[in-house]
Structure 1
Amino acid sequence: MKRSTLPITYGIIIAVGLIVYFMLLSLFGVQTKPVFSLGNGVIVALGLYTVMKRYKAEKGSNFEYQKGFMAGLLTGFNATIIFTVFFAIYVTNINPDFLPMMLDNWSSHYHVGVGIVVFVAAIMGFATTFVLTLSFMQLFKDSWNVKKSPNSPPLKS
C-alpha cells in the first residue's frame, strides 16, 4: 500500500508560510507583538484543514479516523519542527537583538534564555497542532449516528 506524502508536503508548505509571515512581521518591526501570533494559528489551521481534506479524498471509502488524525498530527509536527529550527537560527544568528526586544513586552524577573524561548515556541506549535487536528477531525469523521429507517421497529428503552 502506498504511503501518503501529504504530511511531509503540507508540513513544508505550512512551515514556509509561517516563516514568510514571521519575516513580513519583522520587516514592519512588529514581530515581537504577541497579538500577531494569531496569524500563525490561521496559517496552521488552513494548512491542517487542507491536508486532512486532501487525505480523506485520497483515501476515499478507506478513510479511517486514526489515519486522518495521524496525518494531521504529522503535518503539524513537521511544520513545527521546521519552523522551530528556523526560529532558533533567527534568534541566535540573524537577529540576536530579537530576544531582548521580545522579553521587554513581558514583565519577568527570571532569566530567560534562547533555549527556553525556542522550547516554548515548539510546545506552542505542537499544542496548536493537536487541538486543531482534534477539532478538524470532527468534520471529517464518519458519523456514528444510526439513521432510523421508516420500516425499523422502535428502539426499546
Structure 2
Amino acid sequence: MDVVDGEADWGRVAGALAPGLLRLAVMLTGSTTDAEDLLQATFARAQRHGRRIAAMAAPAAYLRTVMVNEHVSDRRRRRLRTVPLEHDVPTTAPVEVEHDVWGWLATLPRQQRAALVLRFYEDLPDGEIAAALGCSAATVRSHVSRGLASLRAALVTEETR
C-alpha cells in the first residue's frame, strides 16, 4: 500500500511541475517536439526515485537540475540534433517562443544557453544555476557574461545590415 501512495505522490508532483518544466525545455531546445522529448527523458530518469523526489522540500529544483543535465549531456547531444526554428512555434504549443530570441540563443554553446535561460527566464540566482549545471557560481557568471557578449555582438551585426 505504501508503494501505491508513493507513486500517487510522484504522479501529483510530476503533473503539477510538468507545465513549468515544459516551458523551460522549450527555451532550452527551441523546439516543442524536442522539448517534449526532453521532458519525457527527465521524468523517465527521475521516476525511479519518484517517492524520494515527491518527499523533497524543493522537487522543482531537483527536476530542473535533472533536465538541464540531460540537455547538456554528451549522450543527449548524440541522440538528438538541435534544429533552430525557422518559423514561430504553433499557437497550440504550451509556450510561444519568439523566433528572434531562439535564433540568438541557438547560436550559443549549450552551457551558455542553459545559464542564460535559467538566469533570465527562470529568474534563478547564481547558486541555484551552479547547482543545476554542476559548476561553480563563478563559472555561471562567466557563462552568462560570455553568452550576453555573444548576443550583443550578434545584435550589433544584425543592426548594421
Task: Give the alignment's TM-score, normalised by structure 1.
Answer: 0.29
Tell me which of the two structures has the higher relative contact order, counting C-alpha pairs closer than 8 angstroms and 6 or more residues apart. 1
Instruction: Name which one, 1 or 2, has greater alpha-carbon Rg.
Output: 1
